[in-house]
Amino acid sequence: MKRLAVFFTALLFGAAAAAAPLKPSHNAVASAQPFATRAGMQVLQEGGNAFDAAVAVSAALAVVEPYSSGLGGGGFWLLHVAKPDRNIFIDGREYAPAAATPTMYQDKQGNVIPGASLNGPLSAAIPGEPAALVYLNRKYGRLSLAQDLAPAIRLAREGFPLDPLFHSMIATRVNKLKRWPAAAAVFLPHGRVPPTGYLLKQPDLARTLELLAKQGDAGFYQGRLAKEMVDAVRANGGIWSLADLRDYRVKARQPLVGEYHGMKIISAPPSSSGGIVLIEALNILSGYDLADDSGLMQKHLIIEAMRYAYRDRADYLGDPDFVKMPIARLLSPYYAAGLRVSILPDQATPSRDLAPVTAMAPESRHTTHISILDKEGNRVAATFTVNFRFGSGFMPPHTGVILNDEMDDFVSKPGVPNGFGLVGNAANAIAPHKRPLSSMTPTFLETRHGLAILGTPGGSRIISMVLLGALDYFNGGDAKSIVSIPRYHMQYLPDVVFYEPGAFTPDEITGLVKMGYTLRQVHPYGNMQAITWDYKTGKVTAASDPRDIGTAEVR
């Protein structure tokens, strides 16, 4: 293991800003669903830019992948505007209703009520995606909102054949969906799970999208639709008010910027934990020359970097509009150097020797990511969600919109793990109009030779997946390689390394166990979408995760 003087890394390598490249040769879109990828390509061919395409793909996913994201949810849209050259982060994360309290999911004895933050209208925060799409279109798009939403409206009105994945998503959530008549009417026609190939039409959702297209924000957050949502939520145990909807705004934030051996990382700031954990882990790894290390040593160091960075997530992070966070310290190379000192070359660090507590939930299929590059060099990396599969399961009648269960991303009680097994403390406690801490990590990577656009769903594992993707890109991987490489994950507690088949060689498994690691093989996970652009050759590559049904197109 070779230790480099991390303090000087930034000085030695400088920022990764490359010589201004020519424009990309092609447009590229990667998303988790073929109809959504096509919607993005269609809008680009009609003269739209990457931001129009992002609106079109996001809205189409609300129709064809509503178990992952939708108008009832929220997320993050990381943008690179080619001219003038700048990065912007649109925080369209949901916020808590004004009537929310820190103990709203606890019983009188102070125990967390199982499932209360995960099911039904009480688990739903105020959606951010509709406002984000309007903002994205109005501020950065070239086409009208109606043009950007047209493919999604058509998919909702005319229907599309149910794919095997959608079929299985409904099949695993029958109990959640059948509790709520409007959701059951759409996803369980005649009370049954529709077969693969069934033409799924969503006329209410088409009308909601049309209202958004015609009236912008007001179509969703005010007027008839808002009243229908609030009435339905309140009639079923929720606490939304009309003012909660009316007052919702997206936040335009500065993305976080870090560096790894000269590669620039542009990623999600709070209210996501993604960028901080990613950059902190890469800062720790910057002090090593992984290329000189054995496979076993590389894995050991990467797992330790994950452990330390995830630990800080639990301790410090929350909504930046509500909590003060030591972001500068967490992202400082000196801080990383301090952490590195306690990483032993031949032993796993016991997580119990560090601090707070978490447990790990099984991987759940939810959340979605899109990556887009247009021929002008504009880019979008966006990750958005309704949280767990089909969110809260609740659909206010006549809206076609499944509401999220994003309130579960708050801390219901300090030390008690959420649905992802993550714990936290006061920094992520529930408060009126506060945004719950996320792990979503839409990211750009820039080197002297090119760039990558990447991200994935996967709950708490999102950040470790993006970390492995970033290291693969640094080592020369193209989009296909970035989305395909076998994955492993450590989130500090439980003190277990989860790994996909093939992530470690038999010798590495023996070596890691000898060092003191507890390893657990898990099913393949994640659904990464990536695009790369090589400045020198002009080549654009795009790929959708082979673990799933998504598609990527370069045209």
| Contact set with ligand GLY (CB under 6 A) | 367, 385, 387, 406, 409, 438-440, 459
402 neighbors 186 (Cβ within 8 angstroms): no
For 384-413, b/e burial (b = at least 16 CB within 10 A) is bbbbbbbbbbbbbbbbbbbbbbbbbbbbbb
Q: How far is the CB of 337 from ligand GLY (least distance, A)?
A: 29
Between residues 400 and 459, which has the closer beta carbon with respect to ligand GLY? 459
3-state helix, strand, coil split of the chain in percent (to 5) is: 40, 15, 45
Residue 344, SS3 per DSSP: coil
Q: How far is the CB of 538 from ligand GLY (least distance, A)?
A: 35
CB of 82 to ligand GLY, least distance (A): 28
Contact 16, 293 (CB under 8 A): no
Is 235 exposed, middle or buried (CB count within 10 Å of its CB: 0-12, 13-18, 19+)? exposed
Least distance to ligand GLY from the beta carbon of 536, Å?
36
- In the bound state with ligand GLY, the residue whose beta carbon lies nearer, of 37 and 439, is 439
Residue 551 appears among annotated catalytic residues? no
What's the min distance (Å) between Cβ of 440 and ligand GLY? 5
CA-to-CA distance for 432 and 475, rounded, in angstroms? 44
Amino acid at 542: A
Nearest residue to 240 (alpha-carbon basis) of 75, 122, 411: 122
Question: Which CB sits closer to ligand GLY, 91 or 495?
Answer: 91
Question: Of 428 and 439, which CB lies nearer to ligand GLY in the complex structure?
Answer: 439
| Contact between 137 and 145 (Cβ < 8 Å) | yes
Cis preceding-peptide flag for 333 (omega within 30 of 0): no
Question: Quick one: 367 or 412, whose CB is closer to ligand GLY?
Answer: 367
Compute the distance between CA of residue 360 and CA of residue 421 in angstroms, rounded to an integer.
4
b/e per residue 276-292 (b: at least 16 CB within 10 A): bbbbbbbbbbbbbebee
Q: How far is CA 54 from each of CA 140, 165, 198, 402, rounded to the nearest angstrom?
A: 10, 23, 27, 21
Q: Among residues 208, 367, 443, 532, which one is catalytic?
A: 367
Q: Which of 80, 461 has the CB closer to ligand GLY?
A: 461
Least separation in angstroms between residue 540's CB and ligand GLY is 29
Nearer to ligand GLY, 96 or 451 (CB): 96
| Nearest residue relative to ligand GLY (C-beta) | 438
| Of 328, 336, 286, nearest in space to 308 by CA | 336
Please give the Cα distance from 79 to 92 (Å, whole number): 13
Closer of 244 and 405 to ligand GLY (Cβ) = 405
Is 428:407 a contact under the CB 8 Å cutoff?
Answer: no
Instruction: Report in angstroms how near the CB of residue 74 gets to ligand GLY at its nearest.
Output: 9
Kind plus residue range of the DSSP H or E element containing 553: strand 551-554
The least CB distance from residue 198 to ligand GLY, in Å, is 28
> So which residues are the catalytic ones?
367
